[in-house]
Chain A
């Protein structure tokens, strides 16, 4: 929240009070207060405005407006100005409110311990809710930062149920643009990295490759200079680059003279033609939010396929571009989808051989929906869970209020006897609740600020718009609303009881009034049941997450994680042709193997868990089970060195691994994974089958023979199985940029510098990027489930503590209330263990009912968690049993204490005090 927000908040308080001021003077009154606040705030130095002391002072001063407004009203009412007359005959709502408020504050001051417990309990609940809501508000609710963001969509190709959300190839992009009628325009972009050689060591920087119309579709204007345009897509266009505002200020100090100069990217000179505005980012599930350099897609992407000059000439089977499309005004997603269905059909008619499989289509998603689709279920579950925590807090507070209402019963009875009407008493009690609730809200806001920092640190890197998460007016409104609703929730029961106070009972010496009688006991019992039930739902949720997380960590990834150092050495096409790259890699691998401590070393084009992907349509020559039109589909393709599988310790299932003998020029070979075999040759021997993905110069498929079958490797994360995989010797493909992986004895990170030196010995301008142990990649891959786990467990722990305190409170109170009865029983010969048993029975009975209700609720509610769970059913019996036992144990312990206290009562002393 910036200091403008604080001023806005102060002004809002004034606005809140304004209706109290007579209409004739209202606007003047409001202007005066706003001007005073504005001036007072704006002459403070920024340092003060940033401090909590002064923010609190600002709000305090704004709160004076409320008092002033109330005063205004009473002054005008009085026949003459000057003396505030409180007329009891015609009760003014405002006066009554003020009086109630004053009374509420007096009650709080009289019993600060009670108020503190209530405010802290509520503060924790509201704070946690505010924090989680801030995340939801930013990630799920805030519109995307583009012009008319609702018209922005993402377009994907659909390659059947196996691959419903695939990227787009060059010719597909051209045809989509040409055939559609519902989009203003469609653009494509690809996230990438590039070696930036400035002064000093070469670094790998995140880049975005865009089609010439990309920035028009997003409607971004340059900060200075120009952006990538349609002309940059033309054959022979000079290579140009646009810098992000952040990169420009960070590297060049924001010097505008950088325009027209050139930067060296992957060894090639690019002219800097413009700077994109600060904060611009592409919000796409596969794009990093930070991109430093933007270049034109076609020359870069084209060079990958041998310098194709137009999109239409690129390979139709090479999907890599992400589609961004802006709807024409007034067109709905459904209309666009219908239009794209027709486009897909037209494409199929034009290329019947390529789109011969069933399920071909084009899919349109709202850009925002697509972005938040993955984060949404977890966030909503967390929001639900944190809402439960607040409910439990409410129940606890309601319990406290009820217990206190019992104490105040006589006071209330006296007031009623003296003529106060019962509605008035109820209003009075509600005012107290709302005051406490708002105080809890303020504390909650402070807690939320702290909690948010922790949340943002804990949140997985791929949580969309993570950096933007914060408190804004929307969040403040939410907190205010939650505080008020909370006050109603915990305040209604006591207020209701206040209205029903039974005068005769309350005045009786030792009498048991409304709140301590049978009815009050039932109500408190119901609260305990609710509390246990709510806690059970949360504990089950947390338990399921823990079980799921365990499974996740134990899952067979297809490789051994420990002791691996990995890094990316992105040789660029601009500087290395495939044969030279082979030489480079062979030398690097050989020299790395010679380093002390290195046990094995290998390389792969796309390392698992590295956010690097590559796939393409791959064909199998023959299959007993697949029909001819099912023999080509999208497969994850990897190019690896001999020794890669050994390094990763990936189990070989059949056949052999690659050796140094699998080189260019000899017979072409491939290793596929088990999933591939399961799909293509479930009933045949895969060894000796043939697979292809490219053609030779004469247009004949270059078949590659399957020599081995490897265990499937978890690539995207640990819970997704992903596509079938095919591995080729890198010397038999056209790949230059690869990851190096080395298995090391001892600390893997210690070797990173030595390997990087080897790279620079070969090529001093070659950057080494993304150095990480495999262990840390796994940690990052499980960041999202861990985030859910930590939060849910924390909420469940709070719920358990609150529930324990609640049970203990209710049972203690009931023991105190039943002291007389217990005394009589003991006088009549009950033994102390009988008393313990009696109290325990009451406590455990309530807990048992709560468990029953909670189990039913959890059964229904945890369904929504199923998508977050890995290899654990939402109705996992182990979790339910363990949670039930925990709650029962805690419930018994919480009742045992008061029970034993009851058993120690001296019959005589109890009976004589009454």
Chain B
């Protein structure tokens, strides 16, 4: 399925945002500036297609800030491939979303 997946601009934005370190749903939303309603569907689709994996944040980190742990997204190798393709197709993707300062 992953190979046949439509590579839309929104998909590219989401992949780019995660790649540069915006790895939480709302952060992707805020960093990409995409309409609210499109980010989560894209994340779900990408995750289902195997381009993303999600993990739970370290409990200790969350504990320290007295908040619940968050679920963060990473690109899989397939996701990286897709991102390269997206960058080629949508020029300016890298300029649109740049690494967050201090983002890991």
Q: A61-B36, A82-B45 are in contact. Are A36 and B70 (CB under 8 A)?
A: yes
Q: How far is the CA of A75 from the CA of B44 in the complex (A)?
A: 9
- Indicate if B41 sits at the interface (CB-CB under 8 A): yes
B71–A31 CB distance below 8 A: yes
A35–B67 CB distance below 8 A: yes
Q: How far is the CA of A35 from the CA of B41 in the complex (A)?
A: 18
Residue of A nearest to B62 (CB): A35
Residue of A nearest to B57 (CB): A35
Complex interface: chain B residues within 8 A of A38 (CB): 67-68
Could you give, for residues 65-98 of chain B, a 1 whenever the CB lies within 8 Å of some chain A CB and a 0 otherwise?
A: 0011111000000000000000000000000000
Give the segment of A64-72, A517-525, A764-772 that binds chain B.
Answer: A64-72
What is the minimal beta-carbon distance from B14 to any residue of chain A, in angstroms?
A: 14
B48–A81 CB distance below 8 A: yes
Q: Which residues in chain A, 637-691, are within 8 Å of chain B measured between CB atoms? A: none
Complex interface: chain B residues within 8 A of A81 (CB): 1, 45, 48-49
Residue of B nearest to A69 (CB): B40
- Indicate if A32 sits at the interface (CB-CB under 8 A): yes
What is the minimal beta-carbon distance from A512 to any residue of chain B, in angstroms?
A: 43
Q: Which residues in chain B, 1-56, are within 8 Å of chain A measured between CB atoms? A: 1, 4-5, 24-26, 36-37, 40-41, 44-45, 48-49
Q: A40-B26, A82-B45 are in contact. Are A35 and B40 (CB under 8 A)?
A: no
Q: How far is the CA of A36 from the CA of B73 in the complex (A)?
A: 13
A32–B49 CB distance below 8 A: no
- Indicate if A80 sits at the interface (CB-CB under 8 A): yes
Could you give, for residues 34-76 of chain A, a 1 whenever the CB lies within 8 Å of some chain B CB and a 0 otherwise?
A: 1111111010000000000000000011001001100110010
Complex interface: chain A residues within 8 A of B36 (CB): 60-61, 64
Q: How far is the CA of A72 from the CA of B62 in the complex (A)?
A: 27
B26–A39 CB distance below 8 A: yes
B44–A35 CB distance below 8 A: no
Residue of B nearest to A28 (CB): B71
Q: How far is the CA of A36 from the CA of B24 in the complex (A)?
A: 8
Max chain B C-beta neighbours (<10 A), residue from A40, A60, A67, A81:
A81
Complex interface: chain B residues within 8 A of A28 (CB): 71
Inter-chain contact total with CB atoms closer than 8 Å = 57
B68–A31 CB distance below 8 A: yes
Q: A60-B36, A81-B1 are in contact. Are A35 and B70 (CB under 8 A)?
A: yes
Complex interface: chain A residues within 8 A of B1 (CB): 80-82
Complex interface: chain A residues within 8 A of B26 (CB): 36-37, 39-40, 61
Residue of B nearest to A34 (CB): B68
Complex interface: chain B residues within 8 A of A72 (CB): 44
Q: A35-B68, A42-B67, A60-B36 are in contact. Are A71 and B48 (CB under 8 A)?
A: no
What is the minimal beta-carbon distance from A288 to any residue of chain B, in angstroms?
A: 39
Complex interface: chain A residues within 8 A of B70 (CB): 32, 35-36, 39
Complex interface: chain B residues within 8 A of A80 (CB): 1
A35–B71 CB distance below 8 A: yes
Residue of A nearest to B71 (CB): A32
Complex interface: chain A residues within 8 A of B4 (CB): 82
What is the minimal beta-carbon distance from B42 to any residue of chain A, in angstroms?
A: 10
Q: How far is the CA of A32 from the CA of B71 in the complex (A)?
A: 6
What is the minimal beta-carbon distance from A81 to any residue of chain B, in angstroms?
A: 3
Number of residues in B with C-beta < 8 Å to the partner?
20
Residue of B nearest to A37 (CB): B26
Complex interface: chain B residues within 8 A of A68 (CB): 40-41, 44
What is the minimal beta-carbon distance from B39 to any residue of chain A, in angstroms?
A: 8
What is the minimal beta-carbon distance from B27 to any residue of chain A, in angstroms?
A: 9
B37–A64 CB distance below 8 A: yes
What is the minimal beta-carbon distance from B11 to any residue of chain A, in angstroms?
A: 11
Could you give, for residues 79-94 of chain A, a 1 whenever the CB lies within 8 Å of some chain B CB and a 0 otherwise?
A: 0111000000000000
Cβ 8 A contact of A82, one of B24, B25, B49, B67: B49
Q: A61-B26, A67-B37 are in contact. Are A35 and B48 (CB under 8 A)?
A: no
A82–B40 CB distance below 8 A: no
Complex interface: chain A residues within 8 A of B67 (CB): 35, 38-39, 42
Complex interface: chain A residues within 8 A of B37 (CB): 64, 67
Cβ 8 A contact of A71, one of B24, B25, B44, B49: B44
Q: A39-B26, A61-B26 are in contact. Are A67 and B40 (CB under 8 A)?
A: yes
Complex interface: chain B residues within 8 A of A75 (CB): 44-45, 48
Q: How far is the CA of A32 from the CA of B49 in the complex (A)?
A: 20
B45–A35 CB distance below 8 A: no
Residue of B nearest to A36 (CB): B26
Q: How far is the CA of A28 from the CA of B55 in the complex (A)?
A: 10
Complex interface: chain B residues within 8 A of A35 (CB): 62, 67-71
Q: How far is the CA of A72 from the CA of B40 in the complex (A)?
A: 10
Max chain B C-beta neighbours (<10 A), residue from A32, A34, A72:
A32
What is the minimal beta-carbon distance from B44 to any residue of chain A, in angstroms?
A: 6
Q: How far is the CA of A34 from the CA of B71 in the complex (A)?
A: 10
Q: How far is the CA of A560 from the CA of B25 in the complex (A)?
A: 72
A82–B5 CB distance below 8 A: yes
Q: How far is the CA of A60 from the CA of B4 in the complex (A)?
A: 32
Q: How far is the CA of A155 from the CA of B45 in the complex (A)?
A: 68
Complex interface: chain B residues within 8 A of A42 (CB): 67
What is the minimal beta-carbon distance from B37 to any residue of chain A, in angstroms?
A: 6
Complex interface: chain A residues within 8 A of B5 (CB): 82
B25–A32 CB distance below 8 A: yes
Cβ 8 A contact of B48, one of A36, A37, A39, A82: A82
Q: How far is the CA of A80 from the CA of B98 in the complex (A)?
A: 33
Q: How far is the CA of A37 from the CA of B25 in the complex (A)?
A: 10
Q: How far is the CA of A284 from the CA of B70 in the complex (A)?
A: 48
Q: How far is the CA of A631 from the CA of B70 in the complex (A)?
A: 80
Complex interface: chain B residues within 8 A of A64 (CB): 36-37, 40
Complex interface: chain A residues within 8 A of B49 (CB): 81-82
What is the minimal beta-carbon distance from B78 to any residue of chain A, in angstroms?
A: 14
Complex interface: chain A residues within 8 A of B41 (CB): 67-68, 71
Residue of A nearest to B2 (CB): A82
Complex interface: chain A residues within 8 A of B25 (CB): 32, 36
What is the minimal beta-carbon distance from B46 to any residue of chain A, in angstroms?
A: 10
Q: How far is the CA of A265 from the CA of B67 in the complex (A)?
A: 49
B68–A71 CB distance below 8 A: no
Q: Which residues in chain A, 779-838, are within 8 Å of chain B measured between CB atoms? A: none
Complex interface: chain A residues within 8 A of B40 (CB): 64, 67-68, 71
Q: How far is the CA of A67 from the CA of B39 in the complex (A)?
A: 11
What is the minimal beta-carbon distance from A59 to any residue of chain B, in angstroms?
A: 12
What is the minimal beta-carbon distance from A623 to any residue of chain B, in angstroms?
A: 76
Residue of B nearest to A29 (CB): B71
Q: How far is the CA of A81 from the CA of B37 in the complex (A)?
A: 19
Q: How far is the CA of A710 from the CA of B70 in the complex (A)?
A: 79
Q: How far is the CA of A34 from the CA of B1 in the complex (A)?
A: 30
Q: How far is the CA of A34 from the CA of B70 in the complex (A)?
A: 9
Max chain A C-beta neighbours (<10 A), residue from B40, B44, B62:
B40
Residue of B nearest to A78 (CB): B48
Q: Which residues in chain A, 737-778, are within 8 Å of chain B measured between CB atoms? A: none
Q: How far is the CA of A60 from the CA of B29 in the complex (A)?
A: 13
What is the minimal beta-carbon distance from B97 to any residue of chain A, in angstroms?
A: 18
Q: How far is the CA of A31 from the CA of B4 in the complex (A)?
A: 31
Q: Which residues in chain A, 4-46, are within 8 Å of chain B measured between CB atoms? A: 28, 31-32, 34-40, 42
What is the minimal beta-carbon distance from B92 to any residue of chain A, in angstroms?
A: 26
What is the minimal beta-carbon distance from B48 to any residue of chain A, in angstroms?
A: 3
Given contacts A40-B26, A64-B40, 16 further A-B contacts (CB under 8 A): A32-B25, A34-B68, A35-B67, A35-B68, A35-B70, A36-B26, A39-B67, A60-B36, A68-B41, A75-B45, A75-B48, A80-B1, A81-B49, A82-B1, A82-B4, A82-B5
A-B contact pairs, 15 of them (CB 8 A): A31-B68, A32-B71, A36-B26, A37-B26, A38-B68, A39-B26, A40-B26, A71-B40, A71-B41, A71-B44, A82-B1, A82-B4, A82-B45, A82-B48, A82-B49
**CB within 8 Å of B: which residues of A?**
28, 31-32, 34-40, 42, 60-61, 64, 67-68, 71-72, 75, 80-82
**CB within 8 Å of A: which residues of B?**
1, 4-5, 24-26, 36-37, 40-41, 44-45, 48-49, 62, 67-71
Return the 7 tightest CB-CB contacts between A and B, nearest first.
A81-B48, A32-B71, A35-B68, A35-B70, A68-B40, A36-B26, A82-B1
